[in-house]
Amino acid sequence: MTIRSKIAGTGSCVPEQVLTNKDLESMIDTSDEWITTRTGIRQRHIAPQGQNNSDLAAEASMAALSMAGVDASELDLIIVGTLTPDMPMPSVACLVQRRLGATNAGAFDVAATCSGFLYSLSIADKFIKEDPSRKILAIGSEVLSRRTNWDDRTTCVLFADGAGAAVVTGSQDESGILSTCLHADGSVWDLLTIRGLGTAYPVDQELLSKGWQYIEMKGKDVFKHAVKALESVAHESMAKAGWSNDDLDLLIAHQANIRILDFLRERLNLPKEKVFINIDKYGNTSAASIPIALDEANRSGKLKKGDNVLLISFGGGFTWAGVTMRW
């Protein structure tokens, strides 16, 4: 029988503090109607000072481990997709390893922005296929609120904080990951970027005055690239799994914008009930968006054993990815 990797448990964590569109009306020149119509977002969760990326990632991981019935000491590897680490060194994955007490696990971060979780899941898939006895944590976790310019009305309404995790193990039944697809195009890096806080642009007064420590996005251009890449990787992923559109039971795409999700649903000719949407509650949490949605779908009973599930993402870099699995 074919050995596959499968998700044995999911978990998620978002900060308690909620920032609604009404709250934003008192902060910047915007309105609840404008935000909801253009993005689909009604509220987002914001981490207070003192609650860091690794805290959210660890909480999500503990929930996933509990569901999977796996002890942290059994973990062989921890992979975290993130663009907002606690610090440049050590990695979020190492801080999570310490927090969990996963003393037998290797740990590293993946920098693939909004595609970070699917990149992490794809790496986990390869490690499991090499040795099905392995147990791996794939995580997507972000604190985007600290890289958001709250004076920029075009971006501050979008981004938020949260984490999601999945325990990946070997499978000897029909469930598991069927295909993975990873892509990138660095030629258009400047359409969605955080220039500062790296080594190319050291932190100084000039950088701070330009706001290069925050997310910069050319929204219309990003939208055009995103819809094209997401549709393409959806078809590529399903073709590798041997599926047609009719075989798909649930699509979980990166929760970036309701218009992108509606476009994908129409292009893939899917009924509304086959497209999972929770952007209204959480906003754009980058690498955390798919694992948060996956956990919510799982715990709500939206996912059933034997379901064909497609995960697709797109983010800065640009990066985009797709994963198909039988639940």
Place of tokens 């995580």: 139
Catalytic one of 13, 114, 156, 181: 114
d(Cα 237, Cα 74) in Å, to the nearest integer?
31
* 278 assigned to active site: no
Cα 319 from Cα 297, distance rounded (Å): 24
Q: Give the integer Cα–Cα distance in Å for 234 and 266.
A: 13
H helices within the chain, ranges in order? 21-25, 32-39, 53-68, 92-100, 116-130, 205-210, 219-241, 258-267, 279-282, 289-299
Q: Is 284 a catalytic residue?
A: yes
- Smallest CA-to-CA distance from 167 within 296, 75, 56 is with 75
The active-site residue out of 53, 257, 284, 308 is 284
Q: Is 156 a catalytic residue?
A: no
β-pair type (250-253, 319-326) = unpaired
- Catalytic residue (choose from 45, 254, 257, 308): 254
Residues 6+ apart with CB under 8 A from 36: 21, 42, 280
222 three-class SS: helix
Task: State the Cα torsion 95-99-104-106 to the nearest 10°.
Answer: -20
- What is the separation, in whole angstroms, between the first and last Cα of the chain? 17
CB atoms within 10 A of CB 324: 25
Q: Which residues are catalytic?
A: 114, 254, 284
